[in-house]
């Protein structure tokens, strides 16, 4: 099979299945790879500029894989696929210690382990297992919200990620509970990238859906796999419009009315 983007993804999955302790059957089409509990949607450069249909109504885990990000952030996608297939090393959150992270360590962790890398954050925490940082989370500083009769303070959950190769069971819950208790959080919000997942772990924690947000249009140069917010098609005919499902806004409201 030629080393095209879809075949690279399929070859990686087949390699994972060879060493998987459980038998997983898959079926493939030109634009997706489907198993019993997952669907991976493939978006090669030839499909850029097209509109992605709404997320399917399914209980299966879904993941949209884009050729430019597969090429530039390969290990992140491979780790996500391994997690979906259940082949990551699993650690229980109760075996981990919570620590505060400084900017240097938080940036290094998210730049390596998060698809969208690091960004500015006011509060950063991690989970340590056997002297190794295996998960991290970041939040904004609180903001005064004036969308009601009574002003209140809200935080934004900005980033959460496990270390590549690991799945920390209960890690998100443990870090969220710690932050809420430490800061006496009454209101928390976050955005779920619908290309990456449906936010089930957040909904299970108690977050509620609060609408969908359209993404700002972005473009990519297929020769470098670099994205840009600027559409310079007039000067560079190589730029392609990146398709996107958008993001879902989630709210955790703990205020006592």
Residue of 96 and 60 predicted with greater confidence: 96
| 161, 114 Cβ separation under 8 angstroms | yes
| 133, 121 Cβ separation under 8 angstroms | no
Element (H, E) at 143: strand 143-145
Element (H, E) at 85: helix 74-85
Q: What's the number of domains the chain is made of?
A: 2
Domain that holds residue 163: 90-185
Q: Is residue 11 part of a domain?
A: yes
Please check whether residues 116 and 171 belong to one and the same domain: yes
Please check whether residues 82 and 113 belong to one and the same domain: no
Tell me how many degrees the CA angle 151-123-176 measures, rounded to the nearest 5: 80
Please check whether residues 100 and 178 belong to one and the same domain: yes
Distance CA 219, CA 67 (A): 13
Last residue within a domain, chosen from 185, 207, 237:
185
Q: Which residues of 152-161 are buried (b: 16+ CB within 10 A; e: fewer)?
A: eebbbbbbbb
What CATH number is attached to the domain comprising 146? 3.40.630.30
pLDDT tens digits along 93-117: 999 999 999 999 999 999 999 988 8
Please check whether residues 74 and 94 belong to one and the same domain: no
Q: Is residue 235 part of a domain?
A: no
Distance CA 254, CA 14 (A): 45
End-to-end CA gap in the chain: 61
pLDDT tens digits along 217-234: 889 988 899 888 776 655
Please check whether residues 66 and 133 belong to one and the same domain: no
Write down the pTM of the prediction: 0.86
pLDDT tens digits along 169-217: 999 999 999 999 999 999 999 999 888 888 889 999 999 998 888 777 8
Which range has the worst mean pLDDT, 131-135, 224-228, 249-253? Answer: 224-228
């Amino acid at each position: 099979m030629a080393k095209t983007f879809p075949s690279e993804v399929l070859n990686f999955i087949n390699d994972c299945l060879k060493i998987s302790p459980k038998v997983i059957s898959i079926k493939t089409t030109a634009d997706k790879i489907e198993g019993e509990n997952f669907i991976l949607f493939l978006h090669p450069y030839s499909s850029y500029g097209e509109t992605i249909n709404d997320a399917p109504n399914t209980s299966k885990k879904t993941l949209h894989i884009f050729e430019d990000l597969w090429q530039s952030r390969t290990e992140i996608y491979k780790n996500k696929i391994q997690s979906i297939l259940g082949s990551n090393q699993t650690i229980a959150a109760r075996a981990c210690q919570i620590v505060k992270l400084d900017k240097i360590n938080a940036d290094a962790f998210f730049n390596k382990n998060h698809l969208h890398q690091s960004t500015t954050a006011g509060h950063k925490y991690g989970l340590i297992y056997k002297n190794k940082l295996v998960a991290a989370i970041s939040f904004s500083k609180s903001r005064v919200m004036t969308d009601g009769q009574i002003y209140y303070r809200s935080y934004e959950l900005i980033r959460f990620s496990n270390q590549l190769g690991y799945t920390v069971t209960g890690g998100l819950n443990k870090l969220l509970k710690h932050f809420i208790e430490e800061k006496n959080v009454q209101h928390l919000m976050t955005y779920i990238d619908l290309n990456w997942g449906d936010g089930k772990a957040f909904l299970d924690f108690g977050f509620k859906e609060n609408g969908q947000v359209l993404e700002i249009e972005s473009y990519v140069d297929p020769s470098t796999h670099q994205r840009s917010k600027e559409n310079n098609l007039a000067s560079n005919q190589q730029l392609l419009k990146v398709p996107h499902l958008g993001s879902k806004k989630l709210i955790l409201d703990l205020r006592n009315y």
